[in-house]
Every structure is written in C-alpha cells, then in structure tokens.
Chains A and B, each alone.
Chain A
Amino acid sequence: MTGPVNRCGLEPAGRRASAGASCPLLIAVALTAPWRALAAAEPDLSQLSLEQLANLEVTSVAKAPQPLQQAPASIYVITHDDIARSGVTTIAEALRLAPNLTITQLTASNYVAAARGLGGNSATQSFSNKMLILIDGRSVYSPLFSGVYLDAQDVMLEDVDRIEVISGPGATLWGANAENGVINIITRPAYLTDGTLVSVAGGNREQDIGARYGGAINDETAFRVYGKTFQRAALQGEDTSSAHDNWYGAQGGLRIDRSRMNDALTVQGDVYRALENAGDHGSNFISGANVLGRWQHHYSSCDIQLQAYFDQTESFAPFGGTAFVLHTWDVQFQQSRAVGEAHKLVWGAGERLYSYAINNTPTFSFIPERRNLTLSNLFVQDTISLGSSVKVTAGIKLEDDPYAGWQFLPDIRAAWALDTTNELWVAASRAVRSPTPFDTDVQERLGTTLYLRGDTAFEPERMRSYQIGYRGAPFRPVSLSVSVFYNDYEDLRSVEPASSSVLLPFRWANGIAGHTYGIEGWAHWQVLPWWRLSPGVRTVREDLRFSPGASGLLGLAQAGDDPTSQVLLTSSMDLGSRFTLDATLRRVGPLPDPALPAYTEMNARFGWRAGRTLEVALSGANLLHSRHREFPAPYGEEIPRSIMLQLQWRP
C-alpha cells in the first residue's frame, strides 16, 4: 500500500509528505552570524563601574544561537528539553509539539506536515508541497514533487539542539517552496555532545536502540559518531486487521566540529536504510547518504559562511515497481555585515544541482525519466534600525527555477518594540511553489489508457502573504506570541480535461486561486516554579475558487483537506529533582472532504532520574483511545495506542 509509486503520489493509495524548499545555509547562516555584529558599534564598557554595569539595559535574552527567534515572524522553537521530555522517537512526532504545525499520520511510516492550510489531499494526489524542511542546513524536500518523505529523515534526537518552526513564507532567505512554512532542525555541535549515550526503548508499538559517542580530536576539534536502529509495528485497517505497513530501519552518522574564536568548521554525514512492508507486494526499500561541510568565519565587522553538501536518496518499490534515485549537490555562500550604525546587510548566492533517474512502470511514468535540474539564487537583505524601537527588514531573492525561470521573491518586515518585553511586527512577502517533474512530466495509465499527464506549461503556484503579530511577556510569568495571516494564492494546481471536447487524458493545470486566513498563537505560563503550562491554537479558513475556464474537477478540497482548527495544551512538571511529568493534549478539528470527525488525543511521559547516569521513563502516545484515525480510509490507517519504556544511560 505504500510504495515508491505512491511516494510520488501516483496511486490512489498514496503516501504524502510535507514539502520543502531550498537554501539551507541561508538559514543557519543568515541568521546566526549577522545579528551579532551590532556589538561592534557599542561603547567601551571596560571603564564602567559595577553599579553602572548593573544598571545597563541589556537586549537579547537568547543565550544560545537562537537568532531566528529575533526575526519578526511567527516562530516556534521546540527545544532540546521539550523533545527529551516528550518521549518522542521520531522527527515527525517531535514536530507535533509545534502549535503552528499540523502533523497527520497516514501509515506507520508516512506523516504529513503542514502549516497554515493547503496541506494536500491524499484522495486527489495532492501533497503538502509548500513546506521546507532543513536538517543542519541541508534541504530535504524532494524536488520530484515538492513534498518531504519524512520516513527518510532521521537524526539522533538526543543530539538535537532545537527545531525552529516558522509558519508563513521564508522565501527571501530560503527560496522557492518556503511558502507556508520552514522547519529548521539543528543538531548540537560535536563539542557539546561529549561522551557515551545509550538509549533503549521498547513498547507495544516500537523498539528503538541508539548509541552515540563523542570525543575530542584535539583542543579545537571534537567529533561524535552515532548509530540507531528501530522497528515500528503496523497500523490497523478498518476492520482492526493489520495494515501491513510495519517497517524497520537503521541510520548512522558522524559529525566533526572545529571551533575557534573566529571560525568554525563543521563536517557531517549520515547513512540510512529502511524497509517498509508494502503488504502483498513485498517491501519498499529506501536508502540514502549525505555529507555536508560548512565553514563560518568572523571578521571584525562581518561574518561569512560557505557551505556545500551532497545528498543521495533512493526508493525502490518491490518487483521492479517505481523507483527513483536522486542526487543533490549544493553550494552556498553568505556574508553579513554591519554598514554604518543602522544597517545590517546580508547577501548570498547559491547553486544547486538535482540529478535524478526514475524507474518507470507501465502505469506510472515520468517522461523524460531522468533529468538534471539546476537552481540558482542570489539574495540580499537589509535590516535597518529606525530610531531606537523600530527595525525594518527588506530583502529580495532572485531564484532561477529550472522550469519557470527567474522568480522574484521579495519580503519586507517591520518590528516595533513597545518596550523591553513587547513587540509588534508586520510582514508582507511573495513566495512561490515551483513546478516539479510531477507537475510537468508525469504520465499515469489505467491499463493502457493514459488518463493523467503532467503539463510543461504548468506555472509556479504563487502567493502573497500578509502577517501581523505580537510577541512578548504581557505579564511576568507568561510569554505570548500571536499572529494573524492572510495569504493570497494564484495558480494553485488543478486537474483539467485534455480539451473542451476530449476528456482524457486529464492534465495538471493552474486553475485554482483564492485566499486563506487565520490566527495562530501560543503561550508559556510558568504557573509555579515547578509547573509550566503551554497552550497553543491555530485556525485556518480556506476561501478558494476555480479560475475562469477551469473545469472544477475534483472540487476545491483537492488543494487541502485541512482541519480548520487545532488546539494544543502541554503541561510540564518537575516533581522534585528526580521526577518529571509531561503531557500534551491535542485536539484537531474535522476534515472537510473526504470528511473525518475531529479527534482529541494525548501523549504523556513520566521520567525518573534513577541515578547520575541512568534515566528511566514511561511514555505513551495517543493514550485516550485504543485507536484513532487522522485521515480517512483508505489513505489513512487506524493508529493504536502506544506505550513504551525508555532507558537512557550516560556513563
């Protein structure tokens, strides 16, 4: 039922994934180094007395490199501790902690991530294709269809520093496809993951073993190696029988960091394999490897970053079914510098080459079956301080898309500091979802009849986004972030008949337009020193229409079968110094078409620090029901309750 075939969304029983965009480096880079250089303009503090120093107002509160939090955007940060205390074992499950994302599990291995609606619809071969996911600066969306195969993305979760989830466009920094959201998964440098860590987890639904060892090569250089393996049980079909989608896999990797006062060098890589049961058809085999190098250098007034990576990912359906091999080469450069006292300039350029080959089948093929695609970009962004409380950030990216040519992706934002703890911000942006081989080259047949084909005339899906937000600490134990968005879309993908007189084959076209709007917000409330409550809510309304001349085939829900609302409530308790109790309740609103009722579920974890080196936890997922469904059958399966015992040993 899964299958590479479906991986590209060809068959009715499709798999989905979220989508991604380009330009990893931009993120990490653009934002780390840059915001720091302001310090250069500061006065000599060495002459001040202790009392004077103690009375200085200090700006940033972010200790770790969390520069993104500073950008005027809707950003939620899932911290290392959040992940550890939630008991999750996969990236997809960790992403459920972000109130500005909706995560939908379809099968044992197939999850969809979406922000702000238009998250695809498995019933119409439509995918969540407007999201970008980056792992340590490496883009992991598939250029074949703009979605992300989350089953092929894994990290040693214990080594993750944070996951930044930006809802809304980030195209100016990250490029095409960073349309509805950007997810930036950042692992710790090797010198922060010293020593041995072994984690073992077992329960009714999954078993996991992972180990990491970190050490020093010399005073400036540290490394870590890790390996992990897992198996996960099948979900259930409608009659509670097995959905035959159990899977297992393994991954290993290495990271080396050299860090000196003014420069940092990182080399890292991973290798993975997994087998996913495809029912009567055998198993899908997925595998991949990647290697990335990044160099950052700090000069007195500027920072530069150079990053390059190679990524290979493959998927094979059983018995000669659809398969693909994708190679990605990417190189990016970025510089940020202060210009005068008021300007902070960031510019950069990047080049990416995608090379892919697809094994076509009689019913599902890409013509041509192999291509080399290049993606070039150039961007510049200036952050201007106007007076003491207003900052304006304006930027533009020029991206040369392999299908649609040069795209202009401008963005302007303003932030107004009301006082030291409260900020208002506004943003207006333009972003696109670029055409992919699935939009232009695909051919699907029923028997020998061609019934659907891609169209080389397919245009980028365009959007303009307007946002306004507030964040701050309205009163002492509470921090709050609220934003409202209005997205205006043109040329969303639709299905049209071959011509006005001939029905088949259908073809992809750009026949849907409209807008979406909604609100998202979250808060952290430190109720008591040992108890934190974190509520989060998001809503989205989709007001779409078919363009004049469009056929209206498959209805407007093909753009996204999205819940109109979602509510999260996380409670985190420290019970003395040895015990922790965490729980997250989530309510996801009903899906319109195909319809699914709203559901409420809860994950929880009880942790016990059993000794200096041992931590034991009992965790459970989807505890409220013996099973629940997150997308209608036959695309989504029933997800049973899960209970697990976890041990973590750090000798």
Chain B
Amino acid sequence: MTGLLVMSCIGGPASAQSVSEDSAKAAFVYRFTDYVEWPATALQRAEFLIAVLDDPQLARELERICTGHQIKGHPIRVKLIHRQKEASDAQIVSLGPGDTDAHRRFIAGLAGHPVLIVTDEDHGLDEGSTVNFMLVDHRLRFEISLTAATRSGLKISSELLSVAARVEGHS
C-alpha cells in the first residue's frame, strides 16, 4: 500500500508503452463485450448501458473509449452510479472502491439479472463478480468466474477464457 510508485511511464522493452490502469481497464471492459453473450432479453433496450459504481475516473475513461463505437449494434451509454437500483438496467456493472461487505450486498442484489459484474479487488470473485482485475507484474490481468457467469445467464467465449489469468468454476 505504501511504496507503490506512481511515476508514470516506465522504460521497459522497446515497444512497450505504459498506460494508466483506468484506461487499460476501460479498454478491457469495452473489448469484453465481443466475447460475452448476453441473453436476447438483456439487449432489448436501445442502449447498451455500462454502469460504473462510485468511480468517476473509470467512468470517464470508459466514456472516452466508447465514444463513436457500438456494442452489438447498440449505442453505448456509460453511467456513473452510486446505488444498486440504478444498476438493474445495465449490461455491465463495474464496481469501484468500497468495502467487501458492501460489494457483496450490491452483487447479491443483482442476482438473476443478466449483467456482467466487474471488480478490481483482492478477492473479487469471492464477492460474487464475474470478472475480477488484478495486477501481475505491472500488467493488468483478469480472472473469470464461470459460476457467476452462468448464474447471470451469460456465455463467455473460450477466447476470453484463454486470455484470463485464472478461470474459476464450470459453465
């Protein structure tokens, strides 16, 4: 917790370029949508809604990266939210900072909704999320819970699973 440097830009190998964690995370979340299949009922609204809980910076990054793009033929809307009931229409919910207990309750409240829940916590999958980010050697990686995906009615492609640092459960 201390000692984490903050300097940006680290030399690294020739072509390696460093980016902020939030922008990498935003790019991942955007790319995930190509590899996740939502039930048709989840995509009946005009917009594809990505809700970001309590993390304005990530919301801004997502909005930036989604500008001019569509997901599954829908225009994308990124919304910063603070409460669970705002998340129920979303196809993706990304959880920001907060207590494990609060996250657990939040996720439990979305049970049965076809929503991809993304966290960035030490034990994010234990909280009930579907995708959890983690830093490995200064690279942003993610783990996937097939159990949670199945529970939400989502299908995750094998391509995405192959890139995941860890896959938990069975579909």
**Which positions in A face B, CB cutoff 8 Å?**
35-36, 38-39, 42-46, 48-51, 53-64, 67, 69-71, 75-77, 79, 189, 191-192, 194, 216, 219-220, 222, 259-262, 264, 298, 385, 388-389, 391, 415, 417, 419-423, 471-473, 479-481, 522, 524, 650
Which partner residue on chain B sits nearest A216 by CB separation? B83
Partner of A524, one of B2, B8, B141: B2
Q: Given the known inter-chain contacts A42-B23, A45-B27, A56-B17, please indicate yes or no for A219 contacting B163, CB distance below 8 A.
A: no
Q: A60-B8, A77-B1 are in contact. Are A420 and B138 (CB under 8 A)?
A: yes
Contacts of A472 in B (CB 8 A): 3, 5
> Are B2 and A50 closer than 8 Å at their CB atoms?
no
Q: Measured between alpha carbons, how far is A222 from B19 in the docked complex, in Å?
A: 32
Q: Is the CB of A216 within 8 A of B20?
A: no
Please pick, from B26, B81, B140, the residue contacting A56 in the complex, using a CB distance under 8 A.
B140
Q: How far is the CB of A300 from chain B (nearest CB, A)?
A: 9
Known contacts: A50-B160, A420-B5. The answer to whether A39 contacts B10 by CB under 8 A is no
Stretch with Cβ within 8 A of A (4 or more), from B41-49, B53-61, B110-118, B146-154: B53-61
* B4, A69: Cβ atoms closer than 8 Å: yes
Task: Please list the 7 inter-chain residue pairs (A to B) with the smallest Cβ-Cβ separation, ordered nearest first.
Answer: A70-B6, A479-B3, A45-B27, A191-B82, A57-B18, A417-B7, A388-B9
Q: Is the CB of B2 within 8 A of A69?
A: yes
Q: A50-B160, A59-B10, A417-B5 are in contact. Are A261 and B60 (CB under 8 A)?
A: yes
B: interface residue count bin: 35 or more
Instruction: Kindly list chain B residues whose C-beta atoms are within 8 Å of the C-beta of A56.
Output: 16-19, 24, 139-140
A389 and B9 in contact, given A50-B31, A57-B138, A76-B2 (Cβ under 8 angstroms): yes
Known pairs A56-B17, A259-B82; A69 contacts B6 (CB<8 A) = yes
A189: chain B residues within 8 A (beta carbon): 54
Partner of A60, one of B20, B64, B82: B20
Also in contact, A192 and B54, with CB within 8 A (given A39-B61, A45-B23, A420-B10) = yes
Q: In the docked arrangement, what's the CA distance between A391 and B17, Å?
A: 17
B interface secondary structure, majority: mixed
Residue of A nearest to B7 (CB): A417
Q: Closest CB of chain B to A611's CB: distance in Å?
A: 12
- When chains A and B are docked, how far (Å) is the Cα of A385 from the Cα of B22? 20
Q: Which residues of B contact A (CB under 8 A)?
A: 1-12, 16-24, 26-28, 30-31, 35, 54, 56-57, 59-61, 63-66, 69, 78-83, 86, 96-98, 101-102, 120, 135, 138-141, 159-160, 163
Q: Which residues of B contact A650 (CB under 8 A)?
A: 101
List residues of chain B with CB within 8 A of the CB of A54.
Answer: 139-141, 163
Q: Which residue of A lies closest to B22 (CB)?
A: A39
CB-defined A-B contacts under 8 Å, sample of 21: A35-B6, A39-B61, A45-B24, A45-B65, A50-B159, A56-B16, A56-B17, A56-B18, A57-B18, A58-B138, A58-B139, A70-B6, A260-B80, A261-B59, A264-B56, A388-B9, A388-B10, A389-B9, A417-B10, A421-B138, A479-B2
